[in-house]
Amino acid sequence: MFYLALIFLKLLAFPLSLLPRKLFLALGRGVGALFLKYGFRAPIARSNLALAFPEKSTIERESLLRSSYAELGVLGLELLRWFYRFDRFVERYGDVEGEEHMKAALAEGRGVLAMTAHLGNWEVLAISGPSFLGTGVTMVTKELKPAWLHRVVEVTRELSGVRMACEPRTMPGILRALKRKEIVGFVMDQFAGAPVGARVPFFGIPVGSHTALATLAIRTGAAVVPAIAVRQPNGRYLIRYEPALKLLERTDPDAAVIANTALFVRHTEKWVREFPAQWLWIHRRWKGDLSPLPLQAEGEMLT
Q: What is the pLDDT of residues 99-111, one digit of tens each?
A: 999 999 999 999 9
pTM of the entire structure?
0.95
pLDDT at residue 167 tops 90:
no
Specify whether the CB–CB gap between 272 and 278 falls below 8 A: no
Non-local CB neighbours of 285 within 8 Å, separated by 6+ positions: 48, 189, 190, 191, 202, 207
158 confidence band (pLDDT: 50, 70, 90) = very high
* 207 SS3 class: strand
pLDDT at residue 2 tops 90:
no
17 confidence band (pLDDT: 50, 70, 90) = very high
Query: Residue 74: its pLDDT value, please?
Result: 98
Percentage of residues of the chain with pLDDT beyond 90: 93
205-210 and 162-165 strand pairing? unpaired
Q: At what angle do helices 147-159 and 2-18 cross, to 10 degrees?
A: 50
Query: Residue 80: its pLDDT value, please?
Result: 96
Question: What is the per-residue pLDDT across 58-92, written as a single tens digit (0 to 9) for each?
Answer: 999 999 999 999 999 999 999 999 999 999 999 99
| Residue 298 to residue 301: CA distance in whole angstroms | 10
pLDDT at residue 1 tops 90:
no
| Residue 157 to residue 162: CA distance in whole angstroms | 5
139 confidence band (pLDDT: 50, 70, 90) = very high
235 confidence band (pLDDT: 50, 70, 90) = very high
Closest by CA position to 112, among listed 122, 120, 101: 101
Query: Residue 169: its pLDDT value, please?
Result: 84
Specify whether the CB–CB gap between 224 and 264 falls below 8 A: yes
| Residue 143 to residue 279: CA distance in whole angstroms | 22
